[in-house]
Amino acid sequence: MTSLPQLIAFDLDDTLAPSKSPLDPRMASLILRLLDRTKVCVISGGQISQFRAQVIERLDGATAEQLSRLYLMPTCGTQHYRYVDGDWRQIYAQNLTPEERDSALAVVEAVARELGYWETETWGPILEDRGSQVTFSALGQAAPVDAKTAWDPTGAKKSALREAAQARLPELEVRSGGSTSIDITRRGIDKAYGMRRLVEQAGVPLDEMLFIGDRLDEDGNDYPVKALGVECRAVTGWPDTAEVLEEMLAA
């Protein structure tokens, strides 16, 4: 049996599941098989509630031993959750200060209104305080994929928003999130930051890890992991990831 990497880290949206959607049973069972043999991390810009709905609640029948090898890193690893004594516990959270949070919320709303991108018909709130991250979702957190694609087919609106907000928040980092969202964190917080924190948390060096993500292109939110020098595998969506895992598990 060929040995697996000591740890396999995954992006969540469009890598393990469609954006904001739960794991398919096929993917859930592959993750459980992987957890029998190696450590697994999920790292995403999303918050822990999304990890619960998309991942944790789908891992039916997981044993405590399997879950003890699962490392959850919401909001790019500014938070870390582990399964301890029968429950998911927050191990740390690096939150924005109230001043940082308030200025991020105010600036991103002002910029969106000025650019004419502040929508009134939305699926849930546009702005969200995720503790360590403020997120702007143009059409709301629960917007359907079709509506998001139609709103900004080229990504130009999102880029304009990101640039304008960044110019007014020099002390913070404004980054492209999902298809219609931008994330605001402390400077230097991206998935590479999360992967470095993961080294301490999991006790696995970067060169023993494999990262799998759908946005490893230079503009993608997975790219910082590749730039960090971690071995990466690019995928085009969760069915592609499933095939990669089936190959790895069969080897």
Chain residues in the site for Mg ion (CB under 5 A): 11, 13-14, 214
CB nearer to Mg ion: give 10 or 83: 10
Question: Nearest-CA neighbor of 49 among 144, 138, 131, 127?
Answer: 131
Sign of CA dihedral 71, 72, 75, 80: negative
The Cα–Cα gap between 10 and 214 comes to: 9
State the amino acid at position 226 in one-letter form: K
> Least distance to Mg ion from the beta carbon of 78, Å?
17
> Least distance to Mg ion from the beta carbon of 44, Å?
7
Return all residues near 215 (Cβ < 8 A) that are at least 6 apart. 11, 14, 221, 222, 223
The Cα–Cα gap between 110 and 160 comes to: 13
> Least distance to Mg ion from the beta carbon of 159, Å?
18
- Strand, coil or helix: what is 14? coil
CB nearer to Mg ion: give 107 or 235: 235
> Least distance to Mg ion from the beta carbon of 154, Å?
19
CB nearer to Mg ion: give 71 or 238: 238
CB nearer to Mg ion: give 72 or 169: 72
Sign of CA dihedral 128, 156, 239, 30: negative
> Least distance to Mg ion from the beta carbon of 11, Å?
4
CB nearer to Mg ion: give 13 or 173: 13
User: Cβ distance 128 to 182 under 8 Å?
Assistant: no
